[in-house]
Amino acid sequence: MENLRGRRFGTLKVIEITNDRYKRHVVWKCKCSCGNFVNVPGNSLQSGNTRSCGCLRKRQSSLNLIGYKNIESEEAE
């Protein structure tokens, strides 16, 4: 098991190891740059599958909606 304490993965900084396991993987307590804490399996951090507490997805979704115009389809004549 590699010690990930203090390392940064995306917006997450690894704080400490937990007593939890997820499918035999060690789970780490991480602090996101937005201030939230989240527990993440080490393999998800190292593979890049988890990069935030979920705030990046929320932020990107709201950015995708900026400038969105409601396009009405024309009926076929």
Q: Show me where the domains of the chain are located.
A: 8-65
26's CB contacts (< 8 A; 6+ apart) are 1, 17, 18, 41, 42
Rounded distance, CA 58 to CA 35, Å? Answer: 15
What per-residue confidence (pLDDT) applies to 41? 96
DSSP H helical ranges for 1-77: 42-47, 55-65
- Which amino acid is present at 56? L
User: By percentage, how much of the chain surpasses pLDDT 70?
Assistant: 79
Q: Is the predicted pLDDT of residue 62 greater than 90, yes or no?
A: no
Q: Is the predicted pLDDT of residue 49 greater than 90, yes or no?
A: yes
pTM of the model: 0.72
User: By percentage, how much of the chain surpasses pLDDT 90?
Assistant: 66
What per-residue confidence (pLDDT) applies to 59? 73
Say which residue, 40 or 68, is predicted with more confidence. Answer: 40
For 21-30, write each residue's pLDDT tens digit: 999 999 999 9
